């Protein structure tokens, strides 16, 4: 892979990976679930009326390590949204 270029994963690979994560979260031992969550949750800030979760998506073990941004999922306008 060339510098500055990302390789796209095919849909089947993504689905398999998501299913594996889902299985671990629903059926894994407590230690496995805790390790999975700790592997991508970086920080949780809780205030009186909301919580902020900072995370990095878990990636398959053989994926290249790159820094990338994820679009914000926090709606503007408070708890009621826009």
Compute the distance between CA of residue 43 and CA of residue 21 in angstroms, rounded to an integer: 20
Q: Where does the pLDDT of residue 64 fall: very low under 50, low under 70, confident under 90, or very high at 90 and above?
A: low
Half-sphere exposure (Cβ direction) of 26: Cα atoms closer than 13 Å: 6
- Of 15, 18, 13, 1, nearest to 65 by C-alpha is 1
Residue 80: the pLDDT is: 61
Q: Of 61 and 55, which is predicted with more confidence?
A: 55
User: Distance between CA atoms of 26 and 21, rounded to whole angstroms?
Assistant: 9
How much is the pLDDT for 30?
Answer: 92
Q: Which residue has the higher pLDDT, 49 or 1?
A: 49
pLDDT at residue 4 tops 90: no
The mean pLDDT value of the chain amounts to: 75
């Amino acid at each position: 892979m060339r510098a500055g270029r990302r390789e796209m994963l095919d849909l089947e690979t993504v689905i398999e990976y998501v299913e594996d994560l889902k299985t671990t979260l629903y059926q894994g031992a407590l230690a496995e679930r805790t390790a999975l969550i700790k592997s991508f949750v970086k920080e949780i800030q809780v205030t009186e009326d909301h919580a902020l979760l900072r995370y990095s998506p878990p990636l398959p073990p053989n994926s290249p390590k790159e820094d990338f941004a994820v679009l914000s999922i926090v709606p503007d306008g408070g708890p009621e949204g826009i």
